[in-house]
């Protein structure tokens, strides 16, 4: 018998309530994350990456709802789970790291106390023991002079240090699953690399799994083993990062790769994807990438392709994934 995945998201549909009905913003997202895996979700702005992640953490903004689908953590259904039970999972089991630490940190509380809060509440540590743990977590995330810095307020620290505080907060209860929403986007490139390496190291040391949302393909390449590419609320391609990057099977993924700098070929011209993502309130019964797709054919306008297996461990939602990419490679 194979072990069930740590996280299993199946046919997740998220909607925003409008005066007339609902607009679907995430449409049928499915993915599994095995214990110890690092899974990336990429896509342009507005493709539904953050909302998918927030649904897992039960942190959807007001007005956005799970309309259907399932989110299983360790085999247990999270959708519809009672609030108290679900809240108990956050911290010791699941933690989330956001793009902008200032939105997650309390501006009027010393950072050491903020990190110590989780271990006190969830691990039952005394005030003193929790503070010792907080300082050791700060040291672990590479914060110099942690005992002194624990007394600082968030605004007294640099962006890079604040991001490390948030990581220390997230890992302080040794969660098994860490959800990251663009955790390094606000940082400069050198600090970004340091923080990513730190996250990887901590995941390995603590045996934590990672779901990593970003629009930066280089970050996914560095950090994740598997990925899903989202477009207009749907997944259009999934597979191992190395396979998808070498040989994309969806025209959107190919567009993303062609429009991103390539470290192996620094001189290569960047080709942006023309046009804009569709308005989700007026979804047509056609492939949503069709208006921007260089390979579009009549069939693409007559119905939307669904995600289908293209080879072992790989899926693509394109009617022509085989033919097109054979052509591209010739």
Ligand X SMILES: Nc1ncnc2c1ncn2[C@@H]1O[C@H](COP(=O)(O)OP(=O)(O)OP(=O)(O)O)[C@@H](O)[C@H]1O
Residues binding ligand X (CB under 6 A)? 16, 25, 43, 45-51, 61, 63-64, 215, 280
Instruction: List alpha helices for 65-110, DSSP H.
Output: 83-89, 101-104
- What Rg value do the Cα atoms of the chain yield, rounded? 21
Q: Minimum distance from CB of 171 to ligand X (Å)?
A: 23
d(CA 95, CA 247): 33
Q: Which is nearer to ligand X, 16 or 191 (CB)?
A: 16
Q: Which is nearer to ligand X, 138 or 228 (CB)?
A: 228
d(CA 15, CA 150): 40
Phi then psi for residue 11, to 5 deg, are: 50, 45
d(CA 223, CA 226): 10
Q: Minimum distance from CB of 126 to Mg ion (Å)?
A: 38
d(CA 243, CA 210): 20
Q: Which is nearer to Mg ion, 196 or 287 (CB)?
A: 196
115 binds, among Mg ion, ligand X, none (CB under 5 to 8 A by kind): none
50 binds Mg ion (CB under 5 A): yes
Q: Minimum distance from CB of 214 to ligand X (Å)?
A: 8
Q: Which is nearer to ligand X, 79 or 123 (CB)?
A: 79
Q: Please return the burial class of 108, using the count of CB atoms within 10 Å of its CB with bins 0-12, 13-18 and 19+.
A: exposed
Closest residue to Mg ion, Cβ-based? 50
Q: Minimum distance from CB of 170 to Mg ion (Å)?
A: 17
Q: Which residues contact 156 (CB under 8 A, 6 or more apart)?
A: none
5 binds, among ligand X, Mg ion, none (CB under 5 to 8 A by kind): none
Q: Minimum distance from CB of 66 to ligand X (Å)?
A: 13
64 binds, among ligand X, Mg ion, none (CB under 5 to 8 A by kind): ligand X
Write the DSSP string, 158-175: -HHHHHHHHHHHHHTT--
215 binds, among Mg ion, ligand X, none (CB under 5 to 8 A by kind): ligand X
Q: Which is nearer to ligand X, 62 or 269 (CB)?
A: 62
Q: Minimum distance from CB of 48 to ligand X (Å)?
A: 4
Phi then psi for residue 204, to 5 deg, are: -65, -45
What residues line the site for Mg ion (CB under 5 A)?
50
């Amino acid at each position: 018998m194979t072990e069930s995945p740590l996280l299993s998201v199946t046919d997740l549909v998220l909607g925003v309530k409008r005066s007339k009905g609902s607009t679907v913003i995430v449409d049928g997202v499915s993915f599994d994350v095995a214990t110890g895996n690092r899974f990336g979700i990429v896509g342009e702005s507005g493709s539904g990456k953050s909302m998918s992640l927030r649904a897992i953490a039960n942190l959807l903004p007001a007005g956005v709802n799970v309309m259907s689908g399932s989110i299983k953590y360790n085999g247990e259904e999270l959708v519809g789970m009672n609030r108290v039970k679900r809240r108990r999972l956050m911290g010791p089991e699941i933690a989330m790291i956001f793009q902008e630490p200032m939105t997650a940190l309390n501006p009027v509380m010393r950072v050491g106390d903020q990190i110590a809060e989780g271990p006190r509440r969830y691990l039952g540590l005394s005030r003193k023991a929790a503070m010792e743990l907080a300082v050791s977590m700060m040291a672990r995330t590479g914060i110099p002079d942690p005992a002194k810095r624990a007394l600082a307020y968030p605004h007294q620290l640099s962006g890079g240090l604040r991001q490390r505080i948030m990581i220390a907060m997230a890992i302080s209860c040794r969660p098994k699953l860490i959800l990251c929403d663009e955790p390094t986007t606000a940082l400069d490139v050198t600090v970004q690399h340091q923080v990513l390496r730190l996250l990887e190291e901590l995941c390995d040391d603590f045996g934590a799994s990672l779901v990593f949302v970003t629009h930066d393909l280089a970050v996914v390449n560095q950090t994740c083993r598997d990925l899903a590419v989202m477009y207009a609320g749907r997944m259009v391609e999934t597979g191992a990062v190395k396979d998808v990057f070498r040989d994309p099977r969806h025209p959107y993924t190919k567009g993303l790769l062609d429009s991103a700098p390539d470290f192996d070929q620094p001189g290569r011209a960047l080709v942006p994807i023309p046009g804009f993502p569709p308005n989700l309130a007026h979804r047509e019964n056609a492939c949503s990438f069709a208006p921007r797709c260089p390979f579009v054919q009549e069939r693409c306008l007559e119905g939307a392709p669904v995600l289908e297996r293209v080879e072992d461990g790989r899926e693509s939602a394109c009617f022509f994934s085989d033919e097109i990419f054979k052509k591209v490679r010739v």
